[in-house]
């Protein structure tokens, strides 16, 4: 059996088509959604990611305000820019691309972004809201910003009709950006969630239990065919650069022979992260302008 390959590219296109109409409607009512992006330094991967975000804004009719800062930017200057963007009525969402160069404290910068403009969902207030909600209904009612990659993963599963309620979900990785928040969202979807990390004694023993396996490790091809059971659904969050090209955290060719469904790299989770950023930007525009 070979797995269904879940196209994040296609699902992201559907979401973008929905959003394009919403943006056009907002504009007819006198509100133009605006996203400010901040890129500090010369990290090559970050340049690519921010470039993709700006291109998507353009495609959807969202105004972007890009701020490119040198690698030796001092913390007070970055904080001053964030303060200006917090106050700018044309800016509804603010994104500071991570990682920041050495010497800049990401926690401090993220905390300075207004929680109402925090379209990445990284501000402690938004992270705390996510932690405090019990289910998706409560999360939706709160009209909060969900972190983009975890929210994109949930949308991939939903739009592929993968049942989450009652499923055994195993998350590999415990980062604040992916592992922890995706575990909370899967729990809110009523899955039984286990998180593996570098301290896990026998990772294969845990991952073989998974009906849904989320790989967010940041190392190439860690998840092998021996580590999954037949019929698993695998979501690969990894983007690793090897001499032969990009690859995920999953040994795709081997694991796809056992899986029911699997995301590719590239073309899986990546496009979904961008789509959910646009969702949050439109949400922020409605919230700040008061236009429903």
Q: Interface with ligand GUN includes 69 (CB under 6 A)?
A: no
Q: Interface with ligand GUN includes 40 (CB under 6 A)?
A: no
**Span interacting with ligand GUN, options 90-98, 182-190, 224-232, 234-242, rule CB under 6 A:** 90-98
21 carries an active-site annotation: no
Q: Interface with ligand GUN includes 149 (CB under 6 A)?
A: yes
Compute φ and ψ for 175, nearest 5 degrees. -75, 160
Site for ligand GUN in 158-187 (CB under 6 A): 177
Query: Taking the CA atoms of the chain, what radius of gyration do you get in angstroms?
Result: 19
User: In this chain, which residue has its C-beta nearest to ligand GUN?
Assistant: 98
Q: Interface with ligand GUN includes 281 (CB under 6 A)?
A: no
Distances (CA, A) of 242 to 221, 239, 248: 11, 10, 10
Which of 120, 211, 249, 251 is flagged as catalytic?
A: 120
Q: Interface with ligand GUN includes 56 (CB under 6 A)?
A: no
User: Could you tell me which of 189, 197, 174, 212 has the C-alpha nearest to residue 6?
Assistant: 212
118 carries an active-site annotation: no
Q: How many CB atoms lie within 10 A of CB 219?
A: 11
Q: Interface with ligand GUN includes 5 (CB under 6 A)?
A: no
Which of 16, 53, 129, 221 is flagged as catalytic?
A: 53
Q: Are 96 and 73 in contact (CB under 8 A)?
A: no
User: Of 120 and 236, which has the nearer Cβ to ligand GUN?
Assistant: 120
Pairing of strands 212-215, 168-172: parallel
Among residues 12, 81, 118, 120, the one that binds ligand GUN under rule CB under 6 A: 120
User: Of 33 and 152, which has the nearer Cβ to ligand GUN?
Assistant: 152
Helix (H) or strand (E) holding 240: strand 240-242
Q: Interface with ligand GUN includes 280 (CB under 6 A)?
A: no
Q: Are 263 and 256 in contact (CB under 8 A)?
A: no
**Distance from C-alpha of 235 to C-alpha of 131, rounded to nearest angstrom:** 22
**Bridge partners (DSSP) listed for residue 212:** 169, 233
Site for ligand GUN in 177-236 (CB under 6 A): 177
Footprint of ligand GUN on this chain (CB under 6 A)?
95-98, 120, 148-149, 177, 273
Point out the residues that are catalytic.
53, 97, 120
């Amino acid at each position: 059996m070979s797995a269904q390959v879940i196209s994040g590219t296609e699902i992201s296109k559907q979401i973008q088509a929905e959003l394009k109409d919403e943006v056009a409607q907002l504009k007819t009512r006198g509100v133009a959604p605006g996203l400010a992006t901040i890129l500090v330094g010369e990290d090559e991967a970050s340049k690519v990611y921010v470039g993709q975000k700006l291109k998507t804004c353009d495609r959807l009719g969202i105004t972007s305000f890009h701020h490119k800062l040198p690698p030796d930017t001092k913390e007070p200057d970055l904080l001053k820019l964030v303060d200006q963007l917090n106050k700018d009525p044309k800016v509804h969402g603010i994104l500071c691309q991570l990682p920041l160069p050495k010497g800049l404290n990401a926690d401090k910068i993220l905390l300075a972004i207004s929680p109402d403009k925090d379209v990445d969902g990284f501000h402690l207030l938004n992270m705390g809201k996510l932690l405090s909600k019990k289910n998706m209904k409560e999360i939706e009612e709160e009209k909060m910003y969900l972190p983009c990659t975890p929210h994109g993963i949930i949308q991939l599963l939903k739009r592929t009709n993968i049942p989450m309620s009652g499923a055994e979900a195993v998350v590999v990785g415990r980062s604040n950006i992916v592992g922890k928040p995706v575990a909370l969202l899967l729990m809110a979807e009523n899955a039984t969630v286990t998180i593996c990390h570098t301290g896990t004694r026998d990772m294969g023993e845990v991952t073989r239990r998974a009906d849904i396996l989320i790989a967010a490790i940041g190392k190439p091809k860690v998840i092998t065919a021996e580590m999954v059971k037949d019929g698993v659904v695998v979501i690969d969050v990894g983007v690793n650069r090897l001499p032969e090209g990009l690859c995920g955290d999953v040994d795709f060719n081997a694991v796809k022979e056992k899986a029911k469904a699997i995301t590719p790299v590239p073309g899986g989770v990546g496009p979904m992260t961008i789509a959910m950023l646009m969702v949050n930007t439109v949400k922020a525009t409605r919230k700040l302008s008061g236009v429903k």
